[in-house]
Structure 1
């Protein structure tokens, strides 16, 4: 926010009206005018429009009208000219009863997260209508002023986001699957990363082929090209289709910048997670079009776990568990051939002078994994992104546009130390002087840290390419406009991890090569000692990336081809205003390619799905200016989607077959203003999510002996049985469905409280038929397995022969939360201020397998959302300088013990503070942004869960972070 002296002089002449231009009333008969308006600043262009049309145009106080508007020539109605000039500016207009044109900016909620009264893109496909949707906006200026350096940073500040896929969690295989490094995702309301729809410029972004469940990797979105982020915090399948159960996040890219801009940024982290980025923008306008290219390079160093607080894996002194490993150690654990424990060497013994007589069970010491986890709490991440947007008017009322987005991300991370587990070491090994072949369990930690294994890091690459071609055309009636676009998106994911060559290790342990020749002592591995006396030659070539088998490099792909056609415009006028309608169709083809997904353990096939959609949305202003009703607006949306799946159900060797799901999702919104300053709103809708391609198509594994028994409730006389198990996809799955109800109010008073904005929203989401993993059913409600057709196979005597596991449509989930957003703008003699607060309170978050089973509550627990999250902001603006103070709070929560034993019961709350500043040297084009995030380097609340004493889903492992960003803008010609 910047209040220039010029704007204060011109716009400060009246509280609401800053400027009155030209004379004459607006012509109600929609006459066309021959216009000649060159590309210039908005205020000058609109002054010229008023002069050429003979219209009175008023600007509301504080309106930013310094952006450059495109050239406009030819015959246009006043309304069509305004629509063309103001498109993409964030400005809107209305006509008063006496025909004046009033220009204003969409009202916003807070500098960091602003709620709009009139949603132009996200939340509705209609233009210039009042909606009941709760939409938060984060502008480019907010991003700069608050020191956010990545898309992950943006979603982290949303109080509704439950971040379980980020730079820290994807580096920990106990939280996310192996190979997830380099991924980042949004999880609104904690309903899952696949329950939030991700859009870029209103169009779907391709799903991550690694997850293959609809989850989008946000690291593929070009951060430097973002103009603003709009977050719809409500179910929206009736508008955008499936996967919008929790809401929608829409990244709107820049397109109107003119000139060159170079930006460099450096972040220095207390815990070594430093980052450098370089950004370049080139934007040009010409008489009938424009183009903008943005390129960005970024490198992020890994966070050092020791600096972050990991000094030992024994957390008992903190009230947690002793997480040191007991299944391997260094010096190694020696057993006889019949698995009888012999013992270990004393600590500090390198084993070079023999082991006989020195091995003892008393020497076995649990291995402290902090020794090898100290290097990285996050991956080394390198990213190059580019975004190009071009538009060209080819006729007076036709615009062609195109977009191209590219990203190439690389990440590497430590994958732990190689180890031996009950591995034979014969007497031919010169270090084995026991006189018998022994079984050794050891971890090569010392050797790893000494670099003897070479590069043992896991590496992954994610490359994505998306492009869109489209046309917008004004239709020959009222203000109707047609928008048609074709899009194609591709994402490739590669993951490789070096593995120990077991055959070569066996030779090095035996001291004999594959031809039976003895090896020199320098090439023989000593598995008994502490690793300090190993010879480098003994480890040469031991770590390689396999070329085949389940640990060979994995390559997955995701493709999406689509077209989107919509028409929008006014239908007819009511006394309260214009009825507007949008309708259209969308078609998508989505393919996931798992043909080389070895590392991920997936089936070998490339399933695809076709999506055919038809949608319509109607905005009706019901009442306006009657007693008790300043305005009353109704929005109705309806969308019908048909999903057609084709592929080899039950495995790659099965014949191809098809399956179809059809769902119609409605949504109803009502916005009532009893007075101008108060809007009471409510929306109710239905959303859905189709089964994932993996859950439908996963190959059924060969039967294996189950590791836990089960009792058949119809035959308890047979007692606990241990049948065969098999797992695979379930082609009989149905879509999840959800009902959402959202209601609240927005209050923007005038008079002494002018500048205050208060918004309160209650959101209730109920999901039925939720996809449920078989493990949850088996361990929590095994009796349900006998009610699902096809799960249990019997022998002739009535005993259980086999259990056929897969995912099921069983569980329900309920999420109830309240969002509070407050902002207050006020001016003083020392500058302008903005105080803001965003808070989310979760009152209910529960899962239930069936009505007869006890619900599991996740609100305020480690496996659910925080009960309370708050982000407060105080900003000061004076001329070209601004300062921002930000406070971030998350409440304490309980340790659920789900899948993790821990004596810990409660995790403390977490509070951090940020201080940022911005300075603009307007005449020279220089801009400086800098500051400190987590000013006091707050201690991470202790959490006993994932091998490190913090919860990476809830803290930024970088700790205190200082940053400086320098930008220089300039003319290109």
Structure 2
């Protein structure tokens, strides 16, 4: 069995080597600095002084000319990158290549609604990785992070993905506007990357992109640009990596978290130019510890003192001391007694045996116990009340990005852009269902005082605390590889032709190690396990009856690899691009791009269960979709034109400048799969089971199931759909200090393979307690309806719908930037965006508790007279989702000779409208609830810079919200008349209605303070100190996933104090 302790310290090669080299460089630098302090020449001192004076002069010039437009370095945003803030201590002056988001033209698209963060901006935030960075982005909804890996219903669209990426403890995604991670297109240098291994939604794990390699992050907020394939409904995130870097830079950062989630990151970037060859390489390695829940205030599963009697999550079925019940008599299906079925084949019930439940007092060791020592009856059970110690996982990550260019001649360039990353995470499984032992203890066991085999449910908490028994754990290993090979030709004039091939691959392996309730006959440790279970020796026997302080010796083979799941994702794209400039129009030349691409997305997902009588091996795709590696193909032809209507050189009476952009992508989407044909076969063989009564192994009949597809019965169907995705943009400058941009775009996203195809034809069943508000019969007047109650109604549930259409979104945005000449150094940016999504794929079963849904034909099937016949819970194309946002950013900059530069920023973002309308007229809105973004957010920031020092202080505010799923009421709470559960949903069974639901609670607001300060000791060396949640603000009082905080809104790392240094040796 693998040693769990060794797993924790399993590091990659970068984790071992890179910190050593950084330490060596740091030692060399420190020694050189001490010598330099004694022997520094006056010539060197003069150069340093002149450099500082030049830097101050450049800052003054930037302040005096803040209203001038950027030229070559501007990429899709209006921020003045010549400002001192952009020239931070870590800014790279060697970046040459310009990459733009939202266009393939050689110029940026000024009409797109894009927010740009430079590497300097990101470092000033003091963040450690991209997951931390996106927590600070106001348009992001933090639904999927390592902190939410064990959460359900976070608001992200991960459910239903046949890739099954729950419990992905090494996954963090971008979810713009809360529209779903699968609807946000993530690019690396304008090209697609492989999604998370096993997911068909092409969700990109941003933890696999090294922060060290990032030169800028550009976020397009008004829907995805059509030039990327037209399927980014929520927006586009483009990570622009460092290129044409000359020199070497070393970075090291350490985070100290108040809740134990420390992080250690080391990075290095180096590059050189040699003759016609240029290369830039960025390497990063890091480790992060999980959050210790006790340090967040999470110390008990009993929250009744905080929220009321309903919030008690202590477990009354599994405990320590163990809970004892009578055995059902079965060796093949061991469990507690319910009837005589496994004893004599009858349904006769011995109620004394069925009601038997016993437990020793909490202070009893179990040694020399008698039946009189036990407490009897469920009301006397001492429940299990141990929290999960950690949230998240111990993780290590290694990543590298390399960009290589070679000039064959003056007109031809060959290039390669590549990324490689690995991550390993280890998480102890403290869930009660992972820890619990469910065993029949023989009468010979030294701690069994009943004289007969007894069924015991036991949680070995104390044994695992002391190391006698190992803790169940899961381990995830991920790998990401992306490479683009291409060639560029410079044609006549300033035109260029590019051909490229991109291949991205990712894999994700999840291993679970648990204690199986049934051991395989010849597995390692099986004989020893059952020997000790039956042993009469107290020093050898397992003690499942006591409090865990007395028992047998350590047992290393307690755990086994019970299951594994491996998923892969592969994306391949071939593209031809022509771009450049055409003839002159109104003093400017028309810019254009023409691009054709073919893209294929493949994914696999396989699950194996390895414990007990059965070896369960399931290939999800082969069974449900007909192919082990289904492929979705897309062909796209796009064109773009930038038209200068008039410019500053030839202004008009009605304005200073006007530009117009026209884009369109003709997209074709193709998919294949099966409908019907599901087949299964089984054969009866013999398997070994251990009999706790005879203490011997015996054979029993075992059915081995094989799932597959009957090709003769299966119907193979091809999905094929073509569409246009146009985009129009207008840039207008009516006054010299005012610019207005307007953009319209359309996006198209085809259905997923798992939504289109399934080998199961569907199932028919019954749903109880149906209220039909739209009943009509022959006697009902025309145009009127009546409400009718049905005890039960048949329903149809299908896993796929081959008649689905593609989802389409229509987006338009408005941005105004005002830089008044009469108010120097002031800048105001105001944005408005409307996103309307039609035909989004939805499921009828999502509305099974909404009676009004039965008024629609897509859900309810009726007789010609209007009587309800049955309910459809199939996939369907929803009517409309709508999101309307507005935002404002106010900046003001002052510069004084005495105190330096001070820049203040005020930012506000709000949702004006956010609704789901799955069926026309049936409107829902979850805005401001636990599963949706906040109604608004705000932040205030102050940046200061003088000489070699700079600092950044910001206050981020999120309002209170409604936790609409604080607690789900169980039927036991309703029948026992517990608090609000009974008030809202009781009495259970009244009027034939059996129902339950969620409790809600209001959650308070949160203000978080961030600080970051840096000082440059020399041109080669600088240090930065950062603090996240500087005031250590605790989480607003709430409960989610049995934790007293909401990890989507409050970073459970608490206060994080960081120190980092940057070393750029001048000898390189």
TM band (smaller chain): 0.7 to 0.9
Q: 2:543 aligns with which of 526, 545, 559?
A: 526
Deviation at 1:107, TM superposition (A): 9.2
State the partner residue of 1:52: none
Deviates more, 1:159-168 or 1:447-456: 447-456
Deviation at 1:236, TM superposition (A): 2.1
Deviation at 1:509, TM superposition (A): 13
Answering whether residue 760 of structure 2 is matched by residue 700 of structure 1, we say yes
State the partner residue of 1:640: 666
State the partner residue of 1:872: 940
Distance 1:788 1:108 in 2: 59
State the partner residue of 2:828: 758
Q: Deviations over 1:526-556 (max 9, x none)?
A: 333322223245x54232113xxxxx21111
Deviates more, 1:197-206 or 1:453-462: 453-462
Deviation at 1:378, TM superposition (A): 1.6
Whether the 8 Å contact between 1:756 and 1:825 is mirrored in structure 2 is yes
Deviation at 1:106, TM superposition (A): 8.3
Deviation at 1:562, TM superposition (A): 0.7
State the partner residue of 1:160: 139
Whether the 8 Å contact between 2:1014 and 2:1025 is mirrored in structure 1 is yes
Q: 2:116 aligns with which of 124, 137, 147?
A: 137
Report 1:90-129 matches (<5 A): 90=74, 121-128=100-107
Whether the 8 Å contact between 2:929 and 2:964 is mirrored in structure 1 is yes
Q: 1:462 aligns with which of 457, 461, 478?
A: 478
Deviation at 1:333, TM superposition (A): 2.8
Deviates more, 1:383-392 or 1:642-651: 642-651
State the partner residue of 1:207: 195
Distance 1:157 1:263 in 2: 22
Deviation at 1:592, TM superposition (A): 0.3
Deviation at 1:170, TM superposition (A): 1.3
State the partner residue of 1:66: none
Cα 1:333–1:10 change in 2 (3 A) is: closer
Q: Deviations over 1:686-712 (max 9, x none)?
A: 122222233334553985966856689
Report 1:571-590 matches (<5 A): 571-575=582-586, 577-590=588-601
Q: 1:283 aligns with which of 261, 268, 271?
A: 271
Distance 1:223 1:11 in 2: 27
Answering whether residue 204 of structure 2 is matched by residue 216 of structure 1, we say yes
Give the alignment's Cα RMSD to 1 decimal: 3.8
Cα 1:710–1:9 change in 2 (3 A) is: closer
Q: Deviations over 1:460-495 (max 9, x none)?
A: 01101111111222221x422222211111001100
Answering whether residue 664 of structure 2 is matched by residue 653 of structure 1, we say no
Q: Deviations over 1:826-867 (max 9, x none)?
A: 2112201111133211122222231242x2211111111011
Distance 1:963 1:516 in 2: 50
Whether the 8 Å contact between 2:152 and 2:1041 is mirrored in structure 1 is no
Answering whether residue 526 of structure 2 is matched by residue 471 of structure 1, we say no
Between the two proteins, the alignment pairs up a number of residues equal to: 877
State the partner residue of 2:32: none
User: Any idea what SS the aligned residue of 1:189 has?
Assistant: coil
Cα 1:359–1:511 change in 2 (3 A) is: farther
Distance 1:954 1:384 in 2: 28
Deviation at 1:775, TM superposition (A): 3.2
Distance 1:782 1:452 in 2: 57
State the partner residue of 2:954: 886
Deviation at 1:273, TM superposition (A): 0.6
State the partner residue of 2:808: 737
State the partner residue of 1:298: 286
Deviation at 1:718, TM superposition (A): 10
Report 1:610-621 matches (<5 A): 610-621=633-644
Distance 1:15 1:380 in 2: 46
State the partner residue of 2:468: 452
Cα 1:623–1:843 change in 2 (3 A) is: same
Answering whether residue 360 of structure 2 is matched by residue 334 of structure 1, we say no
Distance 1:917 1:957 in 2: 23
State the partner residue of 2:180: 192
Deviation at 1:642, TM superposition (A): 1.0
Whether the 8 Å contact between 1:288 and 1:392 is mirrored in structure 2 is yes
Answering whether residue 1049 of structure 2 is matched by residue 954 of structure 1, we say yes
User: Any idea what SS the aligned residue of 2:222 has?
Assistant: coil
Cα 1:904–1:322 change in 2 (3 A) is: farther
Q: 2:397 aligns with which of 360, 374, 383?
A: 383
TM-score (norm. length: structure 2): 0.76
Whether the 8 Å contact between 1:513 and 1:519 is mirrored in structure 2 is no
Cα 1:966–1:708 change in 2 (3 A) is: farther
Whether the 8 Å contact between 1:504 and 1:542 is mirrored in structure 2 is no
Q: Deviations over 1:53-99 (max 9, x none)?
A: xxxxxxx9898xxxxxxxxxxxxxxxxxx9xxx6xx55899xxxxxx
Deviation at 1:887, TM superposition (A): 1.1
Deviates more, 1:437-446 or 1:495-504: 437-446
Deviation at 1:232, TM superposition (A): 0.6
Q: 1:682 aligns with which of 742, 761, 764?
A: 742
Cα 1:331–1:749 change in 2 (3 A) is: same
Q: 2:1060 aligns with which of 953, 956, 965?
A: 965
Deviation at 1:438, TM superposition (A): 4.1
Q: Deviations over 1:708-762 (max 9, x none)?
A: 56689689999433758765333332221111121131112224x2222211111
User: Any idea what SS the aligned residue of 2:131 has?
Assistant: helix
Cα 1:365–1:520 change in 2 (3 A) is: closer
Answering whether residue 348 of structure 2 is matched by residue 348 of structure 1, we say no
Answering whether residue 508 of structure 2 is matched by residue 440 of structure 1, we say no
Distance 1:565 1:823 in 2: 41
TM-score (norm. length: structure 1): 0.83
Deviation at 1:440, TM superposition (A): 3.2
Deviates more, 1:341-350 or 1:559-568: 341-350
Whether the 8 Å contact between 1:687 and 1:737 is mirrored in structure 2 is yes
Whether the 8 Å contact between 1:238 and 1:687 is mirrored in structure 2 is yes
Q: Deviations over 1:925-964 (max 9, x none)?
A: 1121112211110011122221100001111111111111
State the partner residue of 1:258: 246
User: Any idea what SS the aligned residue of 2:252 has?
Assistant: strand
Answering whether residue 1013 of structure 2 is matched by residue 917 of structure 1, we say yes
Cα 1:525–1:820 change in 2 (3 A) is: same
Q: Deviations over 1:912-937 (max 9, x none)?
A: 111211122343x1121112211110
Distance 1:771 1:233 in 2: 22
Question: Which runs of no fewer than 5 residues in structure 1 stay unpaired?
Answer: 19-59, 64-81, 94-102, 547-551
State the partner residue of 1:560: 571
Whether the 8 Å contact between 2:317 and 2:457 is mirrored in structure 1 is yes
Distance 2:1050 2:761 in 1: 38
Q: Deviations over 1:317-367 (max 9, x none)?
A: 222522223343322333343331433222222322235122223431332
Cα 1:891–1:493 change in 2 (3 A) is: same
Distance 1:883 1:512 in 2: 61
Cα 1:111–1:319 change in 2 (3 A) is: farther
Cα 1:881–1:3 change in 2 (3 A) is: farther
Q: 2:842 aligns with which of 772, 781, 784?
A: 772
User: Any idea what SS the aligned residue of 2:149 has?
Assistant: helix
State the partner residue of 2:414: 400
Answering whether residue 913 of structure 2 is matched by residue 844 of structure 1, we say yes
Distance 1:918 1:822 in 2: 24
Answering whether residue 472 of structure 2 is matched by residue 488 of structure 1, we say no
Distance 2:268 2:596 in 1: 37
Q: 1:668 aligns with which of 728, 734, 737?
A: 728
State the partner residue of 2:130: 151
Q: Deviations over 1:362-407 (max 9, x none)?
A: 431332242xx12x11211100001111112222122221111100
Distance 2:597 2:953 in 1: 44
Answering whether residue 899 of structure 2 is matched by residue 808 of structure 1, we say no
Q: 1:323 aligns with which of 308, 313, 327?
A: 313
Question: Which runs of no fewer than 5 residues in structure 2 stay unpaired?
Answer: 1-49, 92-97, 159-164, 327-336, 339-353, 610-616, 623-627, 679-707, 778-786, 970-997
Q: Deviations over 1:619-662 (max 9, x none)?
A: 22223411121122221211111111134455662555432222
